[in-house]
């Protein structure tokens, strides 16, 4: 998977990972993929809800060593 942009929100609490992701996604073009890295456990639910609201596509998310990675495709 080709990631067009990586956003590091590690250490930030809700709602900052979503705020930073939204600003970054606004700068992407359709079908580009953004990876957001977060250490906030609440971001798992936040990203799933946010993607549903915005109609973008959460391709996948994974957790590794306490870091959550969300791969969002701009629609």
Catalytic-residue membership of 14: yes
pLDDT at 35: 98
pLDDT band at 1 (very low <50, low <70, confident <90, very high): confident
Among the listed residues 12, 14, 28, 59, the single catalytic one is: 14
List the end-to-end C-alpha distance of the chain, in Å, as a whole number: 16
pLDDT at 14: 86
Average pLDDT, the chain: 95
**What share of the chain in percent tops pLDDT 70?**
100
Q: Is 65 left (phi over 0), alpha (psi -120 to 50) or beta?
A: left
> Per-residue pLDDT for 22 more than 90?
yes
The fold of the 5-73 domain, in CATH, is: Translation Initiation Factor IF3 (3.30.110)
């Amino acid at each position: 998977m080709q990631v067009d942009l990586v956003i590091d929100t590690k250490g930030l609490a809700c709602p900052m990972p979503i705020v930073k992701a939204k600003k970054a996604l606004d700068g992407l073009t359709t079908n580009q993929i953004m990876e957001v890295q977060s250490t906030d456990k609440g971001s798992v639910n936040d990203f799933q809800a946010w993607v549903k609201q915005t109609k973008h596509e959460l391709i996948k998310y994974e957790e590794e060593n306490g870091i959550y990675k969300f791969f969002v495709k701009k629609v």
